[in-house]
Amino acid sequence: MKKTIGAVLLLFMINLLNAQQFSCDSVEIFSVQLSIINPTVEVVVKNSNADIISYPGFILFNTNADTLAMESVNYFGIGTNYQTHDLNLLNSINLPFNGYLELHSWFYDSLKCTFAVSIDTTFAAIVPSFLSSVNVFPNPTNNLITLGIDGYNGPINVEVYDLQGRLLEATANTTISMGKYAKGIYVFKVAYGDRNQELKVVKE
């Protein structure tokens, strides 16, 4: 009798899962970010499917189908809260970038979805607001730039890097002069409290 009930329940659960069809439209890619300081591509994603996409992994390709970055599987699945997935760079990425992301499950055993993606060199507010409380203004700038951190009044440390990853300046000031630097894009690495954040700043 117990075996019969167990079999019926199992069949019911299988039918229930099959009734809730998986849809790639329910996988939301919030942002794709190239980290200059750490050689990774960061993908922020959430998933509202009943299928949590067990042991997911992302692969980034260019339009020539060259593999540029790949994730080491770190999550049991993708749920309804945003997650940051770090893809290790395998080849150089030229910006601005257009290509596509593949999302696999079960340690790359099954391809689930493919998404068109782009990374824009002028996208300054590159960290999603739910992960960030640091604001920089004005951005773009031709001289002074000011950092503001919502709800935080403690000490900060700011490091300024160029796109080659060279440290140009380190300061504890919230106002930084960009007048001595050439026109271009710079990366601000901001440490405050127990958090670290990277922001892109455009010097005009």
- The pLDDT confidence band at residue 29, using thresholds 50, 70 and 90, is confident
Q: Give the model confidence (pLDDT) of 96-128 as tens digits.
A: 788 999 999 999 999 999 998 888 653 333 343
Fold for the domain defined by 2-119: Immunoglobulin-like (2.60.40)
Q: Is the pLDDT of residue 195 over 70?
A: yes
Tokens of 31: 């942002």
Does domain 134-203 bear CATH number 3.30.1640.10?
Answer: no
Give whole-number Cα distances, 139 to 45, 163, 165, 173, 186, in Å.
Answer: 26, 17, 20, 17, 11
Look at residue 129 in the predicted model and tell me its pLDDT: 37
Tell me the three state secondary structure of residue 139.
coil
- Give me the residue spans of the domains in the chain: 2-119, 134-203
Angle at alpha carbon of residue 21, lines to 16 and 23, rounded to 5°: 150
Distances (CA, A) of 178 to 34, 188, 201: 22, 12, 10
Tell me the torsion sign for CA atoms 89, 90, 93, 99.
negative
Neighbour tally for 85: CB within 10 Å: 22
Least confident range from 1-5, 107-111, 122-126, 135-139: namely: 122-126
Between 49 and 128, name the one with better pLDDT.
49
Residue 13, both tokens:
């659960």
The answer to whether the CB of 190 falls within 8 A of the CB of 158 is: yes
Lowest mean pLDDT among 34-48, 78-92, 181-195: 34-48
User: Is 180 or 33 the better-scoring residue by pLDDT?
Assistant: 180
Task: For residue range 55-88, list pLDDT tens digits in order.
Answer: 999 999 998 889 999 999 989 999 888 888 989 8
Examine the pLDDT at 11 and tell me if it is beyond 60.
no
DSSP state for residue 156 in the 8-state scheme: E
Same fold, 2-119 and 134-203: yes
Q: 0.75 cut: is pTM over it?
A: no
31: three-class secondary structure by DSSP: strand
Q: For the chain, give the mean pLDDT.
A: 80
